[in-house]
Chains A and B, each alone.
Chain A
């Protein structure tokens, strides 16, 4: 079965610093991968998704992620953190067959941004 592992349940960065949130996937073939963000007391919102068209994927709010097959990774980055980026971030993988809505989520990484 496919799965994703998010390293680090909590990440703290200073405002203006690089944001790096890690996600590694487990799959026999390159999967479709997603990053979702959850702001406090809200539902999840799609940041970006990898659909095999390009390995570097740009998303909303200045985030991007690079699919690296050799490392089975799909890490999320942002060059300069803003206070408004404080949220919980989830990596998710789509099944190899069938329906996309059966996403498998990672355990999440809570991003704290400090002054």
Chain B
């Protein structure tokens, strides 16, 4: 299994541009989520999905859209990039939605918005 994969690894955008961060998992996990990691702030949840066709907002959803058309894929869209969205983005998945389920993280995408 490849686990959780993310593309691209690095991306530089100009303010106002849009882009999609890709996330895929091959473990047939029900649950997927997106976090952003900023220095001194830990990880904060952006959006999550409990299954195909079902998504919901996390702690910091503004400026981001998600959709989940398949179990495997959970892309994150930046509609109009802003410098405040410069961050490292991690996708994670877990087999179920239980409160003790282990989350598996992808390697991350480092995004810089100029």
Chain A residues proximal to chain B, CB less than 8 Å: 9, 32, 36, 41-46, 49, 51, 90, 94-95, 98-103, 105-108
Q: In whole angstroms, how far apart are the Cα atoms of A32 and B101 in the complex? A: 10
Residues of chain B from 45 to 63 with CB closer than 8 A to chain A in the complex = 45, 48, 50, 58
Q: A9-B40, A100-B101, A101-B31 are in contact. Are A43 and B94 (CB under 8 A)?
A: no
Interface centre among B31, B43, B48 (most CB of A within 10 A): B43
Q: Which listed residue, A41, A43, A99, A108, touches B90 by the CB 8 Å rule?
A: A43
Q: Which listed residue, B4, B42, B94, B99, touches A108 by the CB 8 Å rule?
A: B42
Q: Which B residue's beta carbon lies closest to that of A108?
A: B42
- Judged by DSSP, the binding face of A is loop
Residues of chain B from 72 to 114 with CB closer than 8 A to chain A in the complex = 90, 92, 94, 97-103, 105-108
Q: A43-B106, A45-B105 are in contact. Are A100 and B40 (CB under 8 A)?
A: no
Interface size on B, residues (CB 8 A): 28
Smallest distance from the beta carbon of A9 to chain B beta carbons, Å? 7
Top-7 shortest CB links A-B: A43-B105, A105-B42, A100-B99, A44-B105, A105-B43, A99-B97, A51-B100
| B40: A residues at CB distance < 8 A | 9, 107
Interface centre among B48, B100, B101, B107 (most CB of A within 10 A): B100
Chain B residues proximal to chain A, CB less than 8 Å: 4, 31-33, 35, 40-45, 48, 50, 58, 90, 92, 94, 97-103, 105-108
| A41: B residues at CB distance < 8 A | 107-108
Q: Which listed residue, A32, A101, A108, touches B33 by the CB 8 Å rule?
A: A101
Smallest distance from the beta carbon of B42 to chain A beta carbons, Å? 4
